């Protein structure tokens, strides 16, 4: 089978809900990362075979095929470039990346941009369901689904609490993990670790136009006391807003190409795709599937966890990466070395390619060879992508 290579990966700096990126329409934000990936790699925009864009809340300003609209809004891509928008919940743009790699590996396409966008300010989480319900148009839970899962509300929050209980964690452990996320993200920002992956977006301020190039959600002064003072989301539970991922606005993109495209356009790859895995499991506990998807990915790749130099496990809720570490037997020192979504934010459909941008650049800086990325997704699904630095 043909190989698929990553040439570059970029992301915006995260914006808090109602924060610095609130003034950006998500279509234009997505167009900005598409333009950046084309400009940085020097690829001819007309040579791009497809754009595959992840987006979870595909309504309002993200409706009407947001991926195609982003291409039409881009300056560096002609209208002849097609696009498709996909939703695999939090793993949407990681799946976009895997679809792009599969297209290249199959030989049907040579140059594909995988991307993701989510303005959680302008299209709030859950709004594509709640607005329909308010209009009396029903909800996603069909009679057959209700028969199979009677009385069950599929909830990521409840799934996180179930993981806490199943794996024997307590709030102190979750808060300590959250603090470490902020400390790592703060240290990474201060040493310029994100400089190669972040593309700055201009924002209007009372003092004039400034470039937004620093993740807005990092708490540089976070302490265990400040994190522990945040109210629990459920009485008797362990999850709080401080040990869960931050609502975030952002966009990201990865350029994936074939070996033929590398030669034809004089491109230099930074990584090779080693393994693409996606699995489905229990839709009720929901967020535990990365544990078992990682087992399968490593087995299929003929690798062990000790072969991997860096891991990015999305910090949707602190118990998810903690359970992953426990189950896989991984080294915490290699996990989310520049912080994760608890500090940096989780812009839903943009998080997959966002995490890849962080991992591939961190792998390059550290001189490591292999990286593994995974994330939990609504419905009990998980993607795993393994790459090799080249």
Question: Collapsing DSSP states into helix, strand and coil, what is residue 78?
Answer: coil
**332 classed as catalytic:** no
Please list the alpha-helical segments (H only) found in the chain. 26-41, 66-73, 92-106, 127-134, 143-148, 156-167, 171-190, 224-228, 259-265, 289-301, 319-328, 341-344, 351-366
Considering the candidates 182, 212, 346, 361, report the single residue annotated as catalytic.
Answer: 346
Tell me how far apart the alpha carbons of residues 163 and 290 are, in angstroms, rounded to a whole number: 12
Tell me how far apart the alpha carbons of residues 330 and 114 are, in angstroms, rounded to a whole number: 28
**248 classed as catalytic:** no
**55 classed as catalytic:** no
Burial class (CB in 10 A: 0-12, 13-18, 19+), 151: exposed
Considering the candidates 55, 182, 361, 376, report the single residue annotated as catalytic.
Answer: 376
* Cα separation values, 54 from 4, 37, 108, 241, 269, Å: 19, 16, 21, 25, 23
Which of 81, 93, 22, 13 is CA-nearest to residue 46? 81
Spatial contact of 115 and 67, defined as CB atoms under 8 Å apart:
yes
193, two tokens: 């670790």
> Which H helix or E strand runs over 253?
strand 248-258
Considering the candidates 55, 90, 182, 248, report the single residue annotated as catalytic.
Answer: 90
Q: Which residues belong to the active site?
A: 90, 346, 376
């Amino acid at each position: 089978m043909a190989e698929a290579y990553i040439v570059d990966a970029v992301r915006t700096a995260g914006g808090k809900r109602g924060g610095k990126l609130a003034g950006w329409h998500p279509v234009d934000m997505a167009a900005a990362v598409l333009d950046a990936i084309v400009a940085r790699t020097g690829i001819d925009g007309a040579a791009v075979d497809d754009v595959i864009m992840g987006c979870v809340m595909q309504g309002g300003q993200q409706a009407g095929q947001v991926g195609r609209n982003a291409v039409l809004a881009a300056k560096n891509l002609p209208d002849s470039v097609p696009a498709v928008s996909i939703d695999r919940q939090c793993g949407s743009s990681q799946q976009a990346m895997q679809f792009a790699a599969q297209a290249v590996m199959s030989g049907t396409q040579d140059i594909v941009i995988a991307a993701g966008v989510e303005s959680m300010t302008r299209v709030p989480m859950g709004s594509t369901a709640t607005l329909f319900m308010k209009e009396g148009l029903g909800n996603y839970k069909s009679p057959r689904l209700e028969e199979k899962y009677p009385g069950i509300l599929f909830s990521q929050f409840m799934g996180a609490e179930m993981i806490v209980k199943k794996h024997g964690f307590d709030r102190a452990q979750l808060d300590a993990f959250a603090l470490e996320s902020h400390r790592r993200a703060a240290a990474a920002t201060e040493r310029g670790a994100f400089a190669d992956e972040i593309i700055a977006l201009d924002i209007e301020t009372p003092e004039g136009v400034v470039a937004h190039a620093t993740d807005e959600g990092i708490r540089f002064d976070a302490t265990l006391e400040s994190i522990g003072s945040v109210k629990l989301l459920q009485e008797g539970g362990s999850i709080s807003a401080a040990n869960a991922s931050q609502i975030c606005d952002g966009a990201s993109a990865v350029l994936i190409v074939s070996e033929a495209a590398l030669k034809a356009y004089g491109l230099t790859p930074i990584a090779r795709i080693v393994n693409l895995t996606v699995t489905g499991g229990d839709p009720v506990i929901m967020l535990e599937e990365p544990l078992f998807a990682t087992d399968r990915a490593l087995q299929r790749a003929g690798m062990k966890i000790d072969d991997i130099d860096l891991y990015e496990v999305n910090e949707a809720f602190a118990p998810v990466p903690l359970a992953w570490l426990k189950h896989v037997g991984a080294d915490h020192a290699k996990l989310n070395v520049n912080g994760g979504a608890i500090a940096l934010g989780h812009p839903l459909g943009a998080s997959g390619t966002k995490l890849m941008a962080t991992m591939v650049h961190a792998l390059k800086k550290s001189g490591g060879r292999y990286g593994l990325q995974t994330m939990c997704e609504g419905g009990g699904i998980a993607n795993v992508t393994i790459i090799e630095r080249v």
